[in-house]
Structure 1
Amino acid sequence: MTNVNTLIKGANVLGIELNKDEIDSFILYKELLKEWNQKINITSITDDEEIDIKHFIDSITPLSTDLFAEDVRMIDIGTGGGFPGIPLKIINRDMEVVLLDSLKKRITFLEDIIDKLALEKIFPIHGRAEELGRDKNHREKYDIAISRAVASLNTLSEYCLPFVKVGGFFISMKGPDVDEELKEAEKSIKILGGNLNDVKVVNLPLSDITHSLIIIEKIKGTPTKYPRGGGKPKKKPL
């Protein structure tokens, strides 16, 4: 039972009261994550309590912003094992979620999770952000683009901001030291139609970990030439 307590306690610290269905969903998610992780590499975090803190609780910290109305449409870019998209969906069932990842094996894993957790209005998509960001079905169609992916903010901004509709937000989930990255990304954020709205520092409950939520508002449309293809956002950030 201790593991469930970690999850419940951590969520409580964030002001979130988990109900029985949500707790059961997280328990099943964790079992499947560990099971699949023996077949394909999804996460290096395999300890029960660490999964609760570093994956589940960390993933729901964005709910401490007031951006998650019930009917928002969100895309999670570079979702990996479904973080933060699936934990956010478990708690906010009404929101529509797209999980984007470039690895087909991970998409198969995510389809299994969605099926076993009986989640609706959540769609795993196999693809690359720089291609999907040009697709008219996805470009500037989301209230929120979120990413916990490991890349510099100027690169992530080019991958994520094209998905966000004007008036929506890009949330980049980062470590504690973001000042340098913010400085380097200033130009790219502006070019892509964004404006830094807030940096929320989050102390991860039941740990000594500090994270930052960088919240960028989309104030005007992204110029059509972005995102650039051929890995340019990474190789030659704006």
Structure 2
Amino acid sequence: MQSYAKNLIYEHNLTDFDVFIACFPIFYTTFAEKSVEIKKNTYNYMIEIIEKYFPNLTEEQKKQFEALDALYRDWNSKINVISRKDIDNLYEHHVLHSLAIAKAIHFRPGTEILDFGCGGGFPGIPLAILFPECKFKLIDGTGKKIRVCNEVATAINLQNLKAEHLRGEDEKGKYDFVVSRAVMQLPDLMKIIKKNFKQKGQNALPNGLLCLKGGNLKEELKQYFKISEITPLSTFFDEEWFSQDKQLVYVPA
């Protein structure tokens, strides 16, 4: 490119500005191609993160996971669904983070799961993709986030999920499991959801709460110390981000 520009100056007695105008299409095309290449490589890397830990995905599931990037970027430009500083980490910090629950339990077909305080669809949407034979209900007190959940589910043809604008106190359904991502203190959460558990379970793990939390949980889990199970996410995933005090908490119903 530099030699091409020098030849233009020498042969045609052009100014630097003339050369810039002459070379702009080439510069732009090269830059655009590099940008696409970088985006593609980053994108493929993020999809590979999912397949690294869940190698038996169907082609349909791969397409659904792949579609999340463009969908959440589009919605995030309209609504603050995910921190704009964190959208580039969608697959690691949100999708894979949600799927930590699937490393602790493989939900049997027919299992019914409530995502309490789902926000923009995490952990519910990634789990619903991974377990198409299970039923998921997502609830949140913010209507615009529920709209995102339903629109994303429709866009990727996710038929085993419905999202509803609803406070947890008003949810009357019965479920095998409740899942959540650090919505509130666990004692407060358990008070609200204790009415929502089915008495009879169908999975290897008894019905209960599976919650993704961070930080020191000693005080928060004091009253559940004898019955709760805490698993560091670094047990499941070897990316550095998961070693930073990120945990999965299980509390039986």
Q: For this structure pair, what is the TM-score category when the shorter chain's length is used for normalisation?
A: 0.7 to 0.9
Whose helix proportion is higher, 1 or 2? 2
The one-letter code sitting in structure 2 at the alignment partner of 1:200 is: T
Q: Which residue of 2 aligns with 1:153?
A: 186
Deviation, 1:11, is 4.4
**Distance of 1:165 and 1:67 partners within structure 2:** 18
User: Is 1:206 paired with 2:246?
Assistant: no
User: Is 1:163 paired with 2:196?
Assistant: yes
User: Is 1:101 paired with 2:140?
Assistant: yes
8 Å contact 2:128–2:160 — kept in the other structure? no
8 Å contact 2:139–2:164 — kept in the other structure? yes
**Distance of 1:89 and 1:157 partners within structure 2:** 23
Structure whose alpha-carbon radius of gyration is higher = 2
Larger relative contact order, structure 1 or 2 (CA cutoff 8 Å, min sep 6):
1
Q: Which residue of 2 aligns with 1:21?
A: 60
8 Å contact 2:115–2:180 — kept in the other structure? yes
The one-letter code sitting in structure 2 at the alignment partner of 1:95 is: C
Cα deviation, 1:37-91, whole Å, max 9, x if unaligned, reads 1111111055555111000000101111235112210000000010000000111
8 Å contact 1:146–1:160 — kept in the other structure? no
**Distance of 1:208 and 1:108 partners within structure 2:** 29
Change (3 A) 1:45 1:26: farther
Deviation, 1:145, is 0.5
Q: Which residue of 2 aligns with 1:2?
A: 42
Change (3 A) 1:78 1:30: same
- Matching residue within 1, 26, 34 for 2:73: 34
Aligned residues: CA RMSD: 2.1
Change (3 A) 1:16 1:143: farther
Q: Percent identity?
A: 26
8 Å contact 2:47–2:66 — kept in the other structure? no
Alignment TM-score, normalising by the size of structure 1:
0.77
Is the partner of 1:53 in helix, strand or coil? Answer: helix
Alignment TM-score, normalising by the size of structure 2:
0.73
**Distance of 1:105 and 1:17 partners within structure 2:** 34
Unaligned runs of 5+ residues in structure 1 are 219-238
Deviation, 1:176, is 4.2
Deviation, 1:16, is 4.4
**Distance of 1:107 and 1:208 partners within structure 2:** 27
8 Å contact 1:176–1:201 — kept in the other structure? no
User: Is 1:119 paired with 2:119?
Assistant: no
Q: Which residue of 2 aligns with 1:231?
A: none
User: Is 1:74 paired with 2:107?
Assistant: no
Written as runs of structure 1 = structure 2, the 5 A alignment for 1:35-74 is 35-45=74-84, 47=86, 49-74=88-113
Cα deviation, 1:133-182, whole Å, max 9, x if unaligned, reads xx3xx1xx101101114311111212333211224111111014222211
8 Å contact 1:8–1:17 — kept in the other structure? no
8 Å contact 2:182–2:214 — kept in the other structure? no
Change (3 A) 1:125 1:206: same
Q: Which residue of 2 aligns with 1:228?
A: none
Is the partner of 1:179 in helix, strand or coil? Answer: coil
Cα deviation, 1:13-32, whole Å, max 9, x if unaligned, reads x3544333222212212211
Unaligned runs of 5+ residues in structure 2 are 1-40, 202-206
**Distance of 2:101 and 2:85 partners within structure 1:** 23
The one-letter code sitting in structure 2 at the alignment partner of 1:151 is: M
**Distance of 2:57 and 2:87 partners within structure 1:** 18
**Distance of 1:43 and 1:109 partners within structure 2:** 11
